[in-house]
Chains A and B, each alone.
Chain A
Amino acid sequence: MIVGNLKPVEEIAASVAGLKNVQVVGCGSCVSVCLSGGDREARQLADELSLPLYYPGGPPPAFAVSGIVRQCEKDLVKTYLTLPPETDAVVSLACGAGVQTLADLFSPLPVFPALNTTFLGALDEPGIWREKCHGCGDCMLSFTGSICPVARCAKSLFNGPCGGSQGGRCEVDPEIPCAWALIYYRLKSQNRLDLLQKLNPPRDWRPAGNTGPRSRIRTGIAGSPGDAPAPSSQTS
């Protein structure tokens, strides 16, 4: 899932200082599950942002709270998320994709992010999410025992471990397990160590987004390219 962290409240407050009516919008997807941007967090943030101590130059804005199951789907948001007419700005607790979707839909209304979108990760233990994927566009997990060296090796090495791996730990931070040590032991347990004999050539990073923003086009569903126009203005 996409994992985000709440920005410092002072930073969010600075972005809405001087405004009168601000809508705080939670997202019911990834950031809700990682306990940073769901309905509960949206209400907590609105309460916190209402404190006058953040606004030495004037009164705090009035905050209202709403949410939607996913902020990153334009048609869904357009149909089901309505803002009060007096809204001066939106504070979104979604990931960067959700913030930009709201900003596109409600333009020219300013939409401010409340989270720092941080990584694609997994819940390893209750309350602990760890990065697992960089979305590099050319997955090599088949050859690495399903442990990603791009995301989990501090140097994103394709042939490891490096000389800084000590006792299964990374030289960057001993708290970080060496991804290539993990890969070695995983492949060993699978009797597939022969995969490490193969030298991985330098990577083509174009699928990772190095040639600009990426997109995915899925044909064969209603509204997709080549299909009949989607019923885009449904109001059910």
Chain B
Amino acid sequence: MGGTHPHVCRIGGNQMSSFIVNEKCNGCLACVRNCPNRALDYRDHAGKRVLMHNMGLCARCGQCWRVCPEQAVEFRHLLESPWQEVVALGLTHCRVCGEPVCTFDYGKKVSEKLRMPAEALCPAHRREKGLRAWSRIRPASPPSPGGAK
């Protein structure tokens, strides 16, 4: 229940939903009565019939789409729903090249578990640092057989 129909008002927050019905919806409730998981419900209030969808209950079975006599359920949105940002966390960057390494909180957790500060280095520069350290401590190369003669 939404879209541009003059008797229909778009419900606030519906833009975030993946369950979309177009202007053909006439509120017959075929979808509500046939939803196997009871993920659809409705409320008649203040002169309006409001169709409600619960994504936590929805099995994306397509039954609403199948039974709708008006072809109002735009099931594609349940198959190709947009990404939603759920959390934003601060990043630690490689101190050499600036590439993101991990979140600040994760780095802190790792440091606590290792009981040493986690160095802000990307994998490439961490490897480079290890090789430099190895070149300083590796044993000197034995003299070649030719040189011994």
| Contact in complex: B71, A234 (CB < 8 Å) | yes
| Contact in complex: A221, B67 (CB < 8 Å) | yes
Interface residues on A, range: 10 to 19
Shortest beta-carbon distance, B119 to chain A, in Å?
31
Q: Does B40 contact A (CB under 8 A)?
A: no
How far, in whole Å, are A234 and B63 apart by their CA atoms in the complex? 13
**Which residues of chain A from 102 to 149 have a CB within 8 Å of any chain B CB?**
none
How far, in whole Å, are A230 and B34 apart by their CA atoms in the complex? 14
| Contact in complex: B66, A223 (CB < 8 Å) | yes
| Contact in complex: B30, A236 (CB < 8 Å) | no
Q: Which one of A2-10, A57-65, A73-81 contacts B?
A: A73-81
User: Which residues of A sit under 8 angstroms from B66, Cβ to Cβ?
Assistant: 75, 221-223, 230-231
Q: Does A69 contact B (CB under 8 A)?
A: yes
| Contact in complex: B76, A236 (CB < 8 Å) | yes
| Contact in complex: A222, B22 (CB < 8 Å) | no
Cross-interface CB contact of A231 among B60, B63, B71, B76, cutoff 8 Å: B71
Cross-interface CB contact of A221 among B34, B69, B74, B76, cutoff 8 Å: B34
Subset of 10 A-B contacts with CB under 8 Å: A76-B62, A76-B75, A80-B79, A221-B66, A222-B34, A222-B69, A230-B67, A231-B66, A234-B65, A236-B72
Interface residues of B (CB under 8 A from A): 22, 30, 34, 60, 62-63, 65-69, 71-76, 79
* 4 smallest beta-carbon distances between A and B, as pairs: A222-B67, A236-B74, A234-B71, A76-B62
Q: Can you name 19 extra interface pairs (CB under 8 A) apart from A231-B66, A236-B74?
A: A69-B79, A73-B62, A75-B66, A80-B76, A80-B79, A221-B63, A221-B66, A222-B34, A222-B67, A222-B69, A223-B66, A230-B66, A231-B69, A234-B68, A234-B71, A236-B65, A236-B71, A236-B75, A236-B76
